[in-house]
Amino acid sequence: MAIYWEFIRLECVKPSEPYGDELYMLQNGKKIWNTTDDNEGQAGKVWEPGTLFKLDQDADIQLWEYDPDTPDDLLGQTSITPSEAGQGPKTRDFTGDEGHYKFTYKVVTI
C-alpha cells in the first residue's frame, strides 16, 4: 500500500488582487497545479481537482499568486504528513497578501 494526498478543493473567499488572482501551487518547490485563465481567482470561485499526489515524506504545500511585473506573492503554506492518513478531509486557511483561500485535502492509503 502507498500513501497519497488528495487535492479536494480550493475556494477563493477573497482574492489578493482587486481584479483577481493567477494562482499556482507548489509541493516541495515543484509546481503541481495552476489556474488556466487570467484573473480566475475571484471571490466565490471553487476548484475541485480531485488529484492524488504520492506522499513518501512530508509535503510542503505553497499557494502563490503570479505577478508578471513584480515578485510573485505567497498566499499560504501548510505541511501535509503521511501520519494524517485516515483522518478525513482537512481545511487550511491561506491568508497571505490580503487574500483568503480555503484549501481542503485528505491523506489516503491505497
* 43 pLDDT higher than 90: yes
Q: How confident is the model at residue 106 (pLDDT cuts 50, 70, 90)?
A: very high
What's the predicted TM-score (pTM) here? 0.94
Show the domain range for 70.
3-107
* 102 pLDDT higher than 90: yes
The string of pLDDT tens digits covering residues 44-96 is: 999 999 999 999 999 999 999 998 888 999 999 999 999 999 999 999 999 99
| Phi, psi of 48, deg, nearest 5 | -135, 75
Interior/surface letters 11-30, b for 16+ CB within 10 angstroms, e for the rest: bbeebbbeebbbbbbbbeee
Instruction: Find the CATH number of the domain harbouring 63.
Output: 2.60.40.1110
* 36 pLDDT higher than 90: no
Task: Sort residue 87 into left (φ over 0), alpha (ψ -120 to 50) or beta.
Answer: alpha
- The per-residue pLDDT for 39 is 85
**Mean pLDDT score of the chain:** 95
Q: Give the count of domains, the chain.
A: 1
